[in-house]
Amino acid sequence: MRRARALLPAVIVALAGAFAFREMLRGAELRVDDASIVARYAENLVHHGQLTWNVGEPPVEGFTGYSLLGVMIIATLLHVSPLSAALALGIVSLGAGAALVLRAHEPLGASPLAGSVAAALFLGAAEQVTHATSGLETELFIALTVACAFIAVSRAHLPPGAGRLWPLPLVATALVFTRPEGLAVAGAFLLVVVIRERAALRVWLFWTGLLTVLPVAALQLFRRIHFGGWLPNTYYAKLGNPGEQGAFAASFGEHFQAYFLPAVVAMIATAIVARALGRPVTPLPAPVKSARQALLLGAAPGYLALSWSYLRSDLVMGYSDRFAFHLFGLSSLLFLLAVAEVDRRLRSLRESAPAHSATFVLACAALYLPFANAMQRAPKERAFRDSYARATETHLLPTARLLKEILPPDATLAVYPDAGVVPYSTMLRTVDFGKLNDTYLAREATGTASVAEYFFDRSPDALMISLRAGLARTYDEGGDRILSDPRFEPRYRLVRLSLRDGGGLALFVKR
């Protein structure tokens, strides 16, 4: 019995890992368009010595973070496909994040079983496989938030200034370099730890200054000098229009309801029953209490900052309802905390046999609910990955092949708005009407008229434009304006129309 109890956590994590692995192997390979944008920057730096979108043009920062870029640069230097390296990074991050969630049970005063349930949810949540195989930095970011929180809660068990101090500032910096909003999460956990360990303030200031403040300041300086701004171009490109903000709020709500709320409900119900019927609960040891406080205090500003940041962002692609998942690492640790509390309160009910049994069964069912939700969502996620991959195969790759055949290498392409696969495959000079890689469109263009004027000013040799309902309705009003402009028809001719259920893309080249 004791041996079975010891093995159970490992079995739970192994089952969830097998589920995630099976989901990865099923269906088509996902290749999110934006991953190719980062790969283009990496190749431009390695092959042309310029960290820029178009070689020879003023630099623009059209990527989200430097960690993924760094990995892709190293891969390119080693003659490995940067997209394969990004895929490997995502999968490794998924495993590492789960391992850290599992290990977090110790500092948070939870049982190994509680840790394994939280780690299993981290692995088994349907969207995790999508993120791990997207080629983007999301899964790395999620894993780094867990790492940051893990180090912060582990420090609660040490006297101020004891042990190794460098890991937290180092991970915090990695978090900031991975996504800019990592600053909020990293800053919150660093602040919580430094305040708790204020007796060793000098040592902390040294390590934080050396490993966090200096690198982040250097990055900002580099950004200002090289790209000409304090914030990346992606920030301006995604600044929201109010009509679409509800999608992010709905996404947050949906994820909260599916994966986190059942544990909270179970925790509250168990606490009420235990208080009404059970013996007083065993008080938590001071370090565990301190660790839990550190997690809650560190996570709260992170949630607020990330929510604020995403609520202000525009929906750029169909991938966006998954953005709420950047919080999933912290949510998994809070889920672990809820499971630990359910476990602790149940122990106080042991002498009340009928109530204990009923509460135990109901709490187990509530903790199973996130897994049931994950399994229900898995086919939907698989369908999303398949349709995304099919769209790439059907629309983007054939267009890229055609462009290579019909355009000279020094031609200019305009993309509206998918700037990933085609510009990366063709390596043509590209004007990005998706705004991520174009300073004017992201920061200065106002209204559809200025977008159309910019198009005719740049006078690209070809235009690849996404369609929503054939040529009658393109990606947005700016695209419609370009196609309906009287100057367009005499200058451009349609060479490829790739449609499926009305959606798809059109390729025009200069007459």
Partner 1 sequence: MIRRLVATAGGLLSGLLLAIAVTPWSGVDAISGRPSNALVALSSAAALGALVASLASTGDLRKRGRHAVAGASLAVLTVYLLRNLPLPWLNLLALDGTAGLAGQLPLFSLPLVGLLAGWIFGARAPTPARP
Binding site for partner 1 (CB under 8 A): 262, 265-266, 268-269, 272-273, 276-279, 351-355, 358-359, 362-363, 365-366, 369, 372, 376
By beta-carbon proximity to partner 1, the closer residue of 219 and 277 is 277
Q: How far is CA 221 from the centre of its chain?
A: 25
Q: In angstroms, give the least distance from the CB of 507 to partner 1.
A: 44
By beta-carbon proximity to partner 1, the closer residue of 305 and 369 is 369
Angle at 18 between CA 13 and CA 19, to 5 degrees: 100
Q: In angstroms, give the least distance from the CB of 130 to partner 1.
A: 21
Return the number of other C-beta atoms located less than 10 Å from residue 389's C-beta. Answer: 16
C-alpha 429/C-alpha 412 separation (Å) is 5
Contact 29, 198 (CB under 8 A): no
Which of 57, 135, 36, 157 has its CA nearest to residue 400?
A: 36
By beta-carbon proximity to partner 1, the closer residue of 74 and 271 is 271
By beta-carbon proximity to partner 1, the closer residue of 362 and 411 is 362
Contact 351, 279 (CB under 8 A): yes
Q: In angstroms, give the least distance from the CB of 121 to partner 1.
A: 16
Q: In angstroms, give the least distance from the CB of 341 to partner 1.
A: 14
Q: In angstroms, give the least distance from the CB of 209 to partner 1.
A: 49
Q: How far is CA 31 from the centre of its chain?
A: 15
Residue 209 structure tokens: 């200054």
C-alpha 269/C-alpha 339 separation (Å) is 12
C-alpha 151/C-alpha 167 separation (Å) is 7
Q: In angstroms, give the least distance from the CB of 278 to partner 1.
A: 8
By beta-carbon proximity to partner 1, the closer residue of 231 and 355 is 355
Ramachandran angles phi, psi of 156, nearest 5°: -65, -15
Beta-bridge partners for 429: 412
By beta-carbon proximity to partner 1, the closer residue of 92 and 265 is 265
The bridge status of strand 412-416 relative to strand 462-469 is: parallel
C-alpha 452/C-alpha 208 separation (Å) is 48
DSSP letter (8 states) at residue 30: P
By beta-carbon proximity to partner 1, the closer residue of 200 and 265 is 265
By beta-carbon proximity to partner 1, the closer residue of 351 and 444 is 351
Q: In angstroms, give the least distance from the CB of 259 to partner 1.
A: 12
Q: In angstroms, give the least distance from the CB of 274 to partner 1.
A: 9
